[in-house]
Amino acid sequence: MIRHLRNLVRLVAIARTLGRFGALPAEELRAVAPGLAWIMARLNRKGVPGRKGQRLARALTALGPSFVKLGQALSTRADLVGDAVAADLAQLRDRLDPFPGEQARRTVEEALGRPIAELYAAFDDHAVAAASIAQVHFAETPDGRRVAVKVLRPGVEAAFAKDLDLMDWLARLALAVQPRLARLKPVEVVRTVADSVALEMDLRMEAAAASELAENFRGDETFQIPAVDWDRTAKRVMTIARVDGVPVDRVDALRAAGHDPDVVLGHAANAFFNMVFRDGFFHADLHPGNLFVDGSGNLVAVDFGIMGRLDRQTRLYLADMLVGFLNRDYDLVARVHFEAGYVPADQNLELFRQACRSIGEPVHGRPLHEISVGRLLAQLFATTERFAMETQPQLLLLQKSMLTAEGVGRVLNPVINMWELARPLIERWMIENRGPEARVAEATTALASIAGKLPQLLRDAESVSAQLAGGGLKLHPDTVRALAATELAQTRESLRPVWWAVGVAVVLGLVAVVAG
């Protein structure tokens, strides 16, 4: 009960903030919830400049770091908010005012257990970058190494915990009131955001991600990762080598430094392909602020708080799907969705093939530089609603990353498609992983795995047979009680949404009256 009341009060405060920016979705709810839409229309301030997505982005920024993160997550969900709003939310740069350098020094000393004078010969109190979770200070170690020190914001954990609890509460309420939203997995999306934030707030995990990425690209000079100083890294502090370079989107500065933007674009295409398909571990936030070009023309990445992983089967699914679209083989595109289990088996394969064709044909015959793989994936996810395709968070993160990478590519050269530059790598990977030899090896591995499990399967079958012959399988009393308790809890849970939906509407109605 306390959680519900706390979140209702917080929800009212959020509604007033959204209304101040004219960002409450009154029109969108008019058809399904006219009463709530009327309340939101009363709360929305009139005449606020900007598009709907821009107003929402400003409101989320005003609400704080958790909501900026939510906006970034929604920017990958065009199926929820529409293409225009998603594009505006994608512009969120997660920038906040820095906290004082003295607080940063105290955090460093508490986290590392030593006076800052022992840790660094110099420590700049002025933050060079400030984001929602942490900020960065330049420093120098006693042995003369120039480093960047990332420091968590004071109290950031408690602030995120409060807001993430609210998001989870709202997701469950929405799911209870509108069960058809289950396909979009709102609770799982919030959990994904929560997991991502939890990782970002443990800078040891970010340091480990940087280390793993550096290992994956060992020997590849074209894509560099700054070295981690593990002696000066803890949960709330991370120290890495300082990066000297030109931001990747400053094309004139790149040319002035003697670098060819097309060569840089080739490095970016190869690096992204290797991260996604070769390694299945990719930097999921490679916007221009996190990617630099060093003096040798090589790329250097920073900020490893948001990373994505794809298992081998998902990578094979992606490869088959993209090849299907490029070759206009919509039967292949449809089949891989069914075989992967993304589209339920009870859906109509022919109709889904037709839907895939409606996505692929408009881009067929276009110049390569006009084709966006990221937008192709976004359209596919938006189209699959009628086929009950469940949300795949890892693919949404990849789609967002592809859009970001393509944006960088268009800045470097708007008439070159970065995926075309990676074609030799793509073709070689397909041969190695989708050719006849790869399929034979895959089948052999599967058979060996089954053979290894066969003795245990036979023993299990013999044990079950003996239990059935001796009077059947018996459930432990605790199991029976747990099943009964689960049934009762589900019955109670089914009644809650109605009362809380009424409660939300009443509270917002009172606020509207007061605001009016």
pLDDT single digits (tens) 219-230:
999 999 999 999
According to the model, what pLDDT value does residue 498 have?
A: 46
Task: Give the per-residue pLDDT at 303.
Answer: 92
Q: Could you read off the pLDDT tens digit of each residue along the chain, which spans 516 residues?
A: 788 788 888 888 888 999 999 988 888 777 767 887 888 888 888 888 889 889 998 898 888 777 877 787 677 666 567 778 887 887 775 556 789 999 999 999 999 999 999 999 999 999 998 887 899 999 999 999 999 999 999 988 888 888 888 888 888 888 887 787 776 677 877 887 787 778 888 999 999 999 999 999 999 999 999 999 999 999 999 999 999 999 999 999 999 999 999 999 999 999 999 999 999 999 988 888 899 999 999 999 999 988 989 998 888 888 888 778 878 899 999 998 898 888 888 899 999 999 999 988 887 777 766 777 777 887 887 776 678 777 676 777 787 788 888 888 888 998 888 877 877 887 788 778 766 555 555 555 555 555 566 566 666 666 656 666 666 655 556 665 665 666 555 555 544 544 444 444 444 444 444 444
Q: Is residue 454 a part of any domain in this protein?
A: no
Q: Residue 508: what pLDDT?
A: 47
Which residue, chain included where needed, has tokens 């009016």? 516
- In terms of domains, do 236 and 262 share one? no
The residue segments making up the domain with residue 374 are: 245-434
Measured from the Cβ of residue 262, the count of other Cβ atoms closer than 10 Å reads 11
Cβ distance 58 to 91 under 8 Å?
no
Confidence at residue 65, expressed as pLDDT on a 0 to 100 scale: 75
Give the contacts of 281 (CB within 8 A, at least 6 positions apart): 212, 213, 216, 275, 307, 308, 309, 310
- Dihedral of alpha carbons 283, 286, 291, 296, sign: positive
Of the candidates 163, 168, 285, 303, the residue annotated as catalytic is 285
Are 289 and 395 found together in one domain?
A: yes
Residue 314, number of CB atoms within 10 A of its CB: 18
Does 285 qualify as catalytic in the annotation? Answer: yes
Residue 35 lies in a domain: no
Does any domain span residue 452?
no
* Amino acid residing at 313: Q
- Of the three residues 220, 242, 264, the one that is the final residue of a domain is 242
CA distance 72 to 92: 7
pLDDT score recorded for residue 77: 63
Last residue of a domain, one of 389, 419, 434: 434
Question: Is the same domain home to 269 and 401?
Answer: yes
Same domain for 249 and 369: yes
Looking at the fold, whether 369 and 421 belong to one and the same domain comes out as yes
DSSP secondary structure code for residue 125 in this structure: S
- Residue 140 burial by Cβ neighbours in a 10 Å radius (0-12, 13-18, 19+): middle
Q: 229 and 257, same structural domain? A: no
Report yes or no on 125 lying in a domain: yes
Is the domain of 277 the same as that of 188? no
In a domain, 18, yes or no: no
Residue 506 has a pLDDT of: 44
Identity at 189, one-letter amino acid code: V
Q: Is residue 127 part of a domain?
A: yes
> Residue 212 has what pLDDT?
97
Are 348 and 399 contained in the same domain?
Answer: yes
- Among 271, 242, 280, 54, residue whose Cα is nearest residue 139: 242
Exposure class string for 201-233: b at 16+ Cβ within 10 A, else e: bbbbbbbbbbeebbebbeeeebbbbbebbeebb
Query: Tell me, what's the pLDDT at 512?
Result: 45
Question: Is the model's pTM score more than 0.75?
Answer: no
Of the candidates 242, 264, 279, which is a domain's last residue? 242
pLDDT confidence of residue 510: 44
Number of compact structural domains in the chain: 2
The pLDDT of residue 451: 57
Does some domain include residue 78?
no
- Asked whether residue 211 is assigned to any structural domain, the reply reads yes
Judge if 107 and 143 occupy the same domain. yes
Query: Are 263 and 390 members of one domain?
Result: yes
pLDDT tens column, 344-397? 888 999 999 999 999 888 877 777 667 777 778 878 877 766 787 776 767 777
Asked if 438 and 319 count as a contact pair (C-beta separation under 8 A), the reply is no
Instruction: Say whether both 278 and 294 belong to one domain.
Output: yes
For 319, residues 6+ apart whose C-beta sits below 8 A from its C-beta are 277, 426, 429, 430, 433, 434
Among 152, 21, 19, 6, smallest CA distance to 511 is for 19
Pairing of strands 281-283, 223-224: unpaired
C-alpha distances (whole Å) from 353 to each of 96, 315, 350, 362, 399 are 46, 21, 5, 15, 21
The answer to whether residues 234 and 266 belong to one domain is no
E strand or H helix at 183, and its extent? none
